[in-house]
Structure 1
Amino acid sequence: MNPQFKKGALELCVLSKLLGTDCYGYELTEAISQKMVIATGTLYLVLKRLKDDNYVETYLVESGEGPARKYYHLTESGIAYQGKLKEEWKEFVEAVDYFINREDN
């Protein structure tokens, strides 16, 4: 998959995954990696940016298998932002589909 396509969509994928349930970083990486190839560090940069913008908050949960895990949780503004990005994504996809599926191409 083209890296430029992924770059624009990864933030929306992370927010959408967190919409259903809180997750820790590795869990998010594994879930998203099932559908697209991403570098491990890339996701943590997205999570940091989302946290800095107050779209997600974190909390620690003790783990019986090592150090405590940092879970990510969507804030109210994160839920609203996910909805906004989702609508923008749909508009973008419709526009691209229009051009790649035109009969006169």
Structure 2
Amino acid sequence: MGRQDTEMLKGVLEGVVLAVLARRPAYGYEITADLRDRGFADLAEGTVYAILVRIEQRGLVDIEKVASEKGPPRKVFTLNDTGRAQLAEFWNTWSLLADRLEQLRDEGN
């Protein structure tokens, strides 16, 4: 991933994490692995954990501590109603932005 890709990704990564959690509850490493499987290969695990802290502080997720076979209990994140509303807002904004970018690209050709 180039520098421009990385900078663009930073602006949408919170919405991407919310979208993963809309599919199912997950803990940090599962989210990171899911995103890597989807082509976000350069995504640092610490980046996802920082986003999880932020969305937890903003009340967008519910958390359950689940025992782990290795190490301390895992925090499993579940998108709540506030998080779903935030995700819907993200998708609306994304759609508007994508439409405007498509118009610009089409005008340039």
Matches within 5 A, 1:2-81: 2-34=5-37, 35-36=39-40, 37-81=42-86
Which region of structure 1 is more displaced relative to structure 2, 11-20 or 59-68?
A: 59-68
Pairwise CA distance, 1:24: 0.5
Give the TM-score of the pair, scaled to structure 1.
0.90
Between the two proteins, what is the percent identity of the paired residues? Answer: 30
User: How far did residue 101 of structure 1 move?
Assistant: 2.3
Any idea what SS the aligned residue of 2:72 has?
Answer: strand
> How many angstroms does 1:64 deviate by?
2.4
Aligned counterparts of 1:44 and 1:22: Cα–Cα separation in 2: 15
Query: 4+ residue stretches of structure 1 with deviation over 6 A?
Result: none
TM-score, normalisation: structure 2? 0.87
* Higher helix fraction (1 or 2): 2
SS where residue 67 of structure 2 aligns? strand
SS of residue in 2 equivalent to 1:12 = helix
Note the alpha carbon deviations across 1:42-94, whole angstroms, 9 max, x for none: 11111111011100121111122443211001111001110011110011111
Count residues with an aligned counterpart: 104
Structure 1 unpaired stretches of 5+: none
5+ long unaligned stretches in structure 2: none
Indicate the residue corresponding to 1:92 in structure 2: 97
- Measure, in 2, the Cα distance between the counterparts of 1:64 and 1:45: 24
